[in-house]
Amino acid sequence: LTQPYGLTFDVAEGADGDLRAIIATEDLPHMGIKRWDELLTVNGVKPQNIDECLSIMQDAFSIVLVLQPKEIQSFGMPPPKPSVVSRALAGVDRLLMSVTKAYATNANIGEFKLALHRRSTKQKFGLAFDVVWSRWRPHAPIILVSRDLPHLAMCRNDCIRLINGSRPRNKEEVVDILDKAISVELTIRRSEPLDRKFLRHHLQPLDEMGAAWRRTTALHRVR
């Protein structure tokens, strides 16, 4: 239960301070979630507050979320019953993507690896990168993770050293690989040594792929 789902929610409150909605805080294209989507139920339960939402997700190895796009109004209709949701999911419940736990290759210099595999190129990996340029090597771009991805053990500003064994020459090359590849292996370096918590929760050999979005855990926090 220490592996995050990689989901973040916030609350929308009325002028009186009452909870109006629990909403997604960012686009997650690999999960089909958009920012401002409203969370209706988690595992059949309509959370009464953000703490209840967090508690449900922290204690579950699998979650079923029912969300409603911002532009669609419910007009006061109750969310669907869990049995209805289960029947609707039965025909489409299949593994879309798998990911290994991160494997520390050199903890002292903060280097680790992980691999992702998807069934189709239509399924997004859900990775986000920025490019900065080295002061000492102006023709050598540095590819950085642009936001925290706790479900993949990545932190903002982690450096992508290798993608499928090759050093990326620019952001366009990274985007092209992520668009076309079914599997990617990333070698990543953090600016500080990997701590014991990282090694305890994420260290695992890269010998086989594990289920990605049905976890091996839940959120450390809900923002």
Instruction: Supply 67's token pair.
Output: 């969300």
Q: Is 125 left (phi over 0), alpha (psi -120 to 50) or beta?
A: alpha
Q: How far apart are CA 192 and CA 170, in angstroms?
A: 24
Q: What is the mean pLDDT of the chain?
A: 75
Residue with tokens 């994420």: 202
203 has pLDDT over 50: no
Note the pLDDT of residue 193: 82
Of 3-17, 25-39, 42-56, 151-165, where does mean pLDDT reach its minimum? 3-17
Note the pLDDT of residue 220: 34
pLDDT tens-digit map of 94-106: 667 788 878 888 8
Enter the pTM of the model. Answer: 0.59
Note the pLDDT of residue 129: 86
Nearest in space to 22 (alpha carbons), one of 46, 55, 58: 46
pLDDT tens-digit map of 131-177: 887 777 666 778 899 888 877 888 889 999 999 998 888 878 888 88
Kindly calculate the radius of gyration of the chain based on its CA atoms and give it in whole angstroms. 19
| Residue 89 host element (H or E) | helix 82-90
Note the pLDDT of residue 3: 66
The residue with greater pLDDT, 4 or 7, is 7
Burial 93-104 (b: 16+ CB within 10 A, else e): eeebbbbbbbbb
